[in-house]
Amino acid sequence: MEDSKDINNYMNSLGAAARSAAADLAMVSTEIKNNALLYMSEEIDTRRDEILQCNKVDLEKAKQKAIGDALIDRLELTEARIDGMISGLKIVADLPDPVGEIENLKPTPSGLEISKMRVPLGVVGIIYESRPNVTADAAALCLKSGNACILRGGSEAILSNSVIAECLNQGLKRAGLSENIIQIVNTTDRKAVTALLRMEEFVDVIIPRGGKGLVKLISEEARIPVIKHLDGICHVYIDKEADLEQAINITLNAKTYRYGICGAMETLLIHQEVSTKVLPELSSKLIEAGVELRGCEKTCKIINAKLANSEDWVTEYLAPILSIKLVKDLDSAINHINTFGSAHTDSIVTSNEDNAKYFMKKVDSSSVMHNVPTCWADGFEYGLGAEVGISTDKIHARGPVGLEGLTSQKYLVKGNAQIRGA
Amino acid sequence: MEDSKDINNYMNSLGAAARSAAADLAMVSTEIKNNALLYMSEEIDTRRDEILQCNKVDLEKAKQKAIGDALIDRLELTEARIDGMISGLKIVADLPDPVGEIENLKPTPSGLEISKMRVPLGVVGIIYESRPNVTADAAALCLKSGNACILRGGSEAILSNSVIAECLNQGLKRAGLSENIIQIVNTTDRKAVTALLRMEEFVDVIIPRGGKGLVKLISEEARIPVIKHLDGICHVYIDKEADLEQAINITLNAKTYRYGICGAMETLLIHQEVSTKVLPELSSKLIEAGVELRGCEKTCKIINAKLANSEDWVTEYLAPILSIKLVKDLDSAINHINTFGSAHTDSIVTSNEDNAKYFMKKVDSSSVMHNVPTCWADGFEYGLGAEVGISTDKIHARGPVGLEGLTSQKYLVKGNAQIRGA
C-alpha cells in the first residue's frame, strides 16, 4: 500500500467504520462494556504464547535496526507485562463508568432546569511508539469511556499489536459489540499518520504519545484537536531550606526508579548555597547507580562531571544520564523550569512551606510536587484507576488522563415552554 | 504593513508581550483584577461619545461595502449596548475568581496528598467578527480568569475596537497592571490571523467566533489548540406526543426571539403524524412575524412554502428564514440533527419523558433541550455569569464557555519523601 490515495482510502474506511461504531457504543450499557473487557482479558490470557512469539519477531527486527536500549525495553513483552495487560483490563472493568453521569447546575432565574451529562468524545485516534501493551491499555480506557478508537502503534511493534488487537476484537465480538470499536492501522507507512491527523469528519481527538519527531509531524499536520503526551523533561529542585537527607533520597529515586518513564527526572537544580553540602554525597550515589552526570560550570567545580551544553537542558534522556545546574534562588529555579522544561512534572524539596506554595503556584507544569520524586507522576498512583497517558497540553486535560479525560460534558436544559424575552 | 515578514514580526512582538504579561498575571490577586474591571467600566462610560462616533465611521464604511443586514446589526453600538458592556464588566468583577480553586482528590495508597488547582490557560487568542462589544466582554473574562489575550476583531470594526481597547488598557494601567494583558491586533490584514494561528510559543489557545470562511482558514492554518465557536444550525423537533400549543409557542420563540443569535432555530423538524395539526396555525404565525418558509416536499403539500434544497439543511440563516422537514419518527429526527446540524443546540417538544431522554442522550450537541426554545442557549441564562462564546467543539469545553472554560487544572502532589518502588 505505497500509494497515498490507497492509504487515504484505507484510513477513511477505518474512520467511517469507527464513526458509525461510536454512535452505537454511546448507547451501550456499562454491563456489556465490562463484559467485553473481561472477555478481552481472557483472550489475551489464552493466546499469551502467540503474543510472546510475535513480540519476539518484532524484537529481533528492532535489534537489527539498532533503535536504542530505551525503545527495545519498551517494545519487549514478558509474562509479567502480559499479566499487566490482563489485570489492566480487569481494573478498567471495575472502574465506575463516567458516561451518563449527571451534574446538576444551580437553578436559573428563568426556571430552566440545567444539568451537565458526561458523554464520550466519539472517536479517539491514538498514535504511539514501541510499547505494545498500550494497545490493550488505551483500547480498554476508550471502550469504557464509550469511545471508538483507531490505534496506530509503532512500526517496530506491528506484529505484537496485531495479535493483541485480535484478542480485543474477539472480546468485543463475544460481548455482542462491533469489532469496529477498536481498529488498528495495519500499515507501517507514515502517510497513514498524516491521513489520520486530517480526518476531521471521522475523528474527534488525537492522542499522540511519543518523542520529538512525532511532535513535529503532528503540529504541522493535525487538523483535529490533539491532546499531546510528549516529552517529560522533569526537574527536581533542591531548595536552600531542604532536608538534605530527604533531598538525596528523592533525587536518587526520581532518577533511578525507571529510566524509561516520562516522569523520570532529567535535570536536577540545586540552590547554590547548599550545593557543597549535598552534591558530593549525592553524586557518588548517582555514579554508583550507574548514572552519567553532566553539570553546569559551577557544578563541575564541586564534583567530577562532564560539562553540560545547551542541548542538555532541553533533552529527555530516558537513560542513566542527569544534567545538574546550580541556581542562585527559587525564582531562578522556577524560571529555568518554565523555560527549558516540558510542562510535565516538576518537584521542589524544601522544609519551607511558603517556598513550596510559591513554587507550586508559579511552575507551569501539569504536576507540581513537594517533597516527592517526579517518578510518582502516574494516573494509577493518582487514583484515576489507569491512564491513557500524561498530557503536557493545557486545554481539556493536563497531567495523567484517565476515563474522565476521554469524555466531555453536554448541557441538558429542561423547561416548561418558557419563552425568552417574554 | 503589507509585507508578511513585517506582520509576523509585529504579531510575534504582541505574542512575546502577552506571554510575559500572562506569567505575572497568574500571580495577581482577585482584588486587583476586579479593580481593573471596574476602572475599565468607568473609562468606557467616560468615553462613550467617542466610542459611538468611531462606531458611526465603521458603520458608514461597512454600509458602503454592503456586508449584509445581520452583520450591520452586529456591528452597531448603541447607548444600550454600551450600557451592556459596562454592566458586563461589573458582572464579571462580581463573579467568583476561579483561579487557585483547589479540589482535593481521594487519599492514595502511597500516602501522597493529591489535589487539583485551577489555573489560567496563559495567553488566549480571540478571533471574532463584527460585534465590537465582544472586545470588552471577552477581555473581561480573560482577565478575570488570569489570562492575557490577543484580540483580533473584524476589519469592519477596527475603529470601534481600538477605542474600546484604549479604555480597557487605561483600566489596567489605573489598577497597576501591564497593558500587555489586553492587546488588539491593529492591522486588518488577514495575514495577521495566519500568524496568530501559528504562534505556538506565545499563544495557548485560539477561540474563533465566526462564520464558515473563518472556520476554513482556522482548520487549515492552526498550529495551536482551538476552541471553536462556529455555526449554530439549531433544530426544534416536534414529537408525535407534543403538546401542540406548547410546540407552537416554543417554535415561534426559537425562531423570532432574535434572528442574529447562534441559538436561533434554523430548521424545524415535525413528526409527520402531527404535521397537519400543527403546521397550518404555526406557519401562519411565522409568516405573520415575517419569516420566509422553505419546506421539504411533504411540507409544501400542507402549507404554502418555497421548496427547500439540499443547501437549506446545512445553512445558518441568521435571518427570518426557516427550513421545515417532516420526519417519520424520533430516530429520523435525531439522525437528521446529527447529520446536518452543527452540534450547537437542539430541542425536542414532547410530553413523553422516555422520548425526551432518548433524544437528549442520542443527539450529539453541546446543548440538548426538552420543551424549551433553542434561543435560551446562553452562558448568562445557564448561570455561568457570562460567556466568551458557545463552543461547538467536544474537547475542553462544550456549549457556553464562561470563566471555568478559560482555565485548566494542574495536579498538586505533596508527600514526605515517599520512595516509589520501595
Task: Provide the shortest C-alpha distance from residue A64 to chain B (in Å).
Answer: 33
Nearest to A365 among B122, B225, B410 (CB): B410
Tens digits of residue pLDDT in B299-310: 999 999 999 999
Tens digits of residue pLDDT in A384-398: 878 888 888 888 989
Taking residues A123-130, report their average pLDDT. 91
Residue of chain B whose Cα is closest to the Cα of A358 = B27
Task: Provide the shortest C-alpha distance from residue B127 to chain A (in Å).
Answer: 18
Select the more confidently predicted residue: B70 or B236. Answer: B236
Q: Which of B376, B384, B388, B416 to mutate to test the interface with A (most CBs of A within 10 A)?
A: B376
The reply to whether A221 and A240 lie within a common domain is no
* pLDDT classification of A2: cutoffs 50, 70, 90: low
Do residues B121 and B205 touch, judged by C-beta distance below 8 A? Answer: yes
**Mean pLDDT lowest among A265-279, A285-299, B208-222, B270-284:** B208-222
Residue A106 lies in a domain: yes
Instruction: Please state, in angstroms and rounded to a whole number, the distance separating the CA atoms of residues A398 and B405.
Output: 14
The reply to whether B394 and B361 lie within a common domain is no
Taking residues A401-414, report their average pLDDT. 95
E-strand spans in B49-128? 102-104, 113-120, 123-128
**Would you say residue A373 has pLDDT above 80?**
yes
Q: Which residues contact A309 (CB under 8 A, 6 or more apart)?
A: none
Residue A244 lies in a domain: yes
Q: What are the helix and strand counts (H, E) for chain B?
A: 14, 16
**Would you say residue A332 has pLDDT above 90?**
yes
Q: What are phi and psi of B331, to 5 degrees?
A: -60, -35
**Would you say residue B1 has pLDDT above 70?**
no
The reply to whether A200 and A108 lie within a common domain is yes
Cβ-based contacts of A366 with chain B (< 8 Å)? 410-411
Contact B381 A112 (CB under 8 A): yes
Query: What pLDDT was estimated at residue B255?
Result: 98
Contact B398 A410 (CB under 8 A): yes
Residue A418 lies in a domain: no
Contact A223 B226 (CB under 8 A): no
Range of the domain at B147: 4-229+388-413
Contact B411 A382 (CB under 8 A): yes
* A287, burial (CB in 10 Å: exposed 0-12, middle 13-18, buried 19+): middle
- Kindly report the CATH number assigned to the domain that includes residue A155: 3.40.605.10
Strand partners, A294: A306, A323
Cα angle for residues B153, B157, B161 (degrees, 5° grid): 65
Per-residue cell: A230: 510528549
Contact A23 B117 (CB under 8 A): no
Q: Specify the number of domains making up chain A.
A: 2
Contact B105 A226 (CB under 8 A): no
Task: Provide the shortest C-alpha distance from residue B299 to chain A (in Å).
Answer: 24
Taking residues A125-150, report their average pLDDT. 94
| 3-class DSSP state of A385 | coil
E-strand spans in A129-213? 148-152, 182-184, 205-209
Contact A411 B110 (CB under 8 A): no
Q: How many angstroms from the chain centroid is the CA of residue B269?
A: 25
Taking each helix axis as running N to C, give the angle between helix B244-256 and helix B275-288, from 0 to 180 degrees, rounded to the nearest 10: 30
The reply to whether B332 and B217 lie within a common domain is no
The reply to whether A171 and A241 lie within a common domain is no
Task: Provide the shortest C-alpha distance from residue B239 to chain A (in Å).
Answer: 14
Task: Provide the shortest C-alpha distance from residue A188 to chain B (in Å).
Answer: 25
Taking residues B306-325, report their average pLDDT. 96
Select the more confidently predicted residue: A1 or A49. Answer: A49
Task: Provide the shortest C-alpha distance from residue B296 to chain A (in Å).
Answer: 26
Contact A369 B393 (CB under 8 A): no
For B179, other C-beta atoms within 10 Å of its C-beta total 16
Q: What percent of chain A lies above the pLDDT cut of 70?
A: 99
Taking residues A258-287, report their average pLDDT. 96
**Mean pLDDT lowest among A28-42, A267-281, B105-119:** B105-119
Q: What is the mean pLDDT of chain B?
A: 94
Taking residues A29-34, report their average pLDDT. 98
Q: How many angstroms from the chain centroid is the CA of residue A311?
A: 24
Task: Provide the shortest C-alpha distance from residue A216 to chain B (in Å).
Answer: 11
Tens digits of residue pLDDT in B52-111: 999 999 999 999 987 777 788 889 999 999 999 999 999 999 999 999 999 998 888 889
The reply to whether B208 and B133 lie within a common domain is yes
Residue B68 lies in a domain: yes
Cβ-based contacts of B338 with chain A (< 8 Å)? 23
Strand partners, B295: B307, B324
Instruction: Please state, in angstroms and rounded to a whole number, the distance separating the CA atoms of residues B310 and B263.
Output: 21
**Would you say residue B220 has pLDDT above 80?**
no
Which amino acid is present at A223? R
Cα angle for residues A361, A367, A372 (degrees, 5° grid): 95
* pLDDT classification of A382: cutoffs 50, 70, 90: very high
The reply to whether B64 and B26 lie within a common domain is yes
Contact A417 B367 (CB under 8 A): no
Contact B225 A395 (CB under 8 A): yes
Cβ-based contacts of B246 with chain A (< 8 Å)? 417
Contact B108 A383 (CB under 8 A): yes
Per-residue cell: B222: 492552526
**ipTM entry:** 0.91
Residue of chain A whose Cα is closest to the Cα of B117 = A361
Select the more confidently predicted residue: A284 or B380. Answer: A284
Nearest to B200 among A121, A219, A375 (CB): A219
Cβ-based contacts of A393 with chain B (< 8 Å)? 225
**Would you say residue B251 has pLDDT above 60?**
yes
Residue B23 lies in a domain: yes
Query: What pLDDT was estimated at residue A385?
Result: 78
Contact B370 A23 (CB under 8 A): no
Contact A414 B383 (CB under 8 A): no
Taking residues A317-337, report their average pLDDT. 97
Cβ-based contacts of B382 with chain A (< 8 Å)? 105, 108, 112, 114, 411, 413
Select the more confidently predicted residue: A212 or A99. Answer: A99
Cβ-based contacts of A409 with chain B (< 8 Å)? 398
Which amino acid is present at B252? L
Query: What pLDDT was estimated at residue A135?
Result: 94
* pLDDT classification of A322: cutoffs 50, 70, 90: very high
Residue of chain A whose Cα is closest to the Cα of B102 = A361
Cβ-based contacts of B379 with chain A (< 8 Å)? none
Taking residues A173-184, report their average pLDDT. 98
Q: What is the mean pLDDT of chain A?
A: 94
Longest dimension (CA), chain A: 79
Nearest to A223 among B219, B416, B419 (CB): B219
The reply to whether B219 and B328 lie within a common domain is no
Contact A410 B250 (CB under 8 A): no
**Would you say residue A83 has pLDDT above 80?**
yes
The reply to whether B53 and B187 lie within a common domain is yes
**Would you say residue A182 has pLDDT above 70?**
yes
Taking residues B210-222, report their average pLDDT. 76
- Kindly report the CATH number assigned to the domain that includes residue B319: 3.40.309.10
Taking residues A28-40, report their average pLDDT. 98
The reply to whether A241 and A144 lie within a common domain is no
Residue B382 lies in a domain: no
Per-residue cell: B240: 408525535
Taking residues A207-225, report their average pLDDT. 80
**Would you say residue A185 has pLDDT above 80?**
yes
Residue of chain B whose Cα is closest to the Cα of A392 = B410
Nearest to A366 among B114, B227, B410 (CB): B410
Instruction: Please state, in angstroms and rounded to a whole number, the distance separating the CA atoms of residues A89 and A42.
Output: 10
The reply to whether B359 and B399 lie within a common domain is no
Residue A338 lies in a domain: yes
Instruction: Please state, in angstroms and rounded to a whole number, the distance separating the CA atoms of residues A339 and A331.
Output: 12
Nearest to B365 among A200, A368, A410 (CB): A410
Cβ-based contacts of B376 with chain A (< 8 Å)? 110, 112, 413, 415, 418, 420
Instruction: Please state, in angstroms and rounded to a whole number, the distance separating the CA atoms of residues B59 and B41.
Output: 23
Q: How many CB pairs under 8 A join A and B?
A: 221
Tens digits of residue pLDDT in B368-411: 999 999 999 998 899 887 888 888 888 898 999 999 999 999 99
Task: Provide the shortest C-alpha distance from residue A221 to chain B (in Å).
Answer: 8
Contact B365 A100 (CB under 8 A): no
Residue B381 lies in a domain: no
Taking residues B333-358, report their average pLDDT. 97
Instruction: Please state, in angstroms and rounded to a whole number, the distance separating the CA atoms of residues B86 and B72.
Output: 22
- What Cα–Cα distance (Å) separates residue A103 from each residue in A44, A89, A118, B186? 37, 28, 8, 42
Antiparallel, parallel or unpaired: β A113-120 and A102-104: antiparallel
Nearest to B370 by CA among B385, B383, B353, B394: B353
Query: What pLDDT was estimated at residue B2?
Result: 56
The reply to whether B306 and B263 lie within a common domain is yes
Cβ-based contacts of A23 with chain B (< 8 Å)? 338, 364
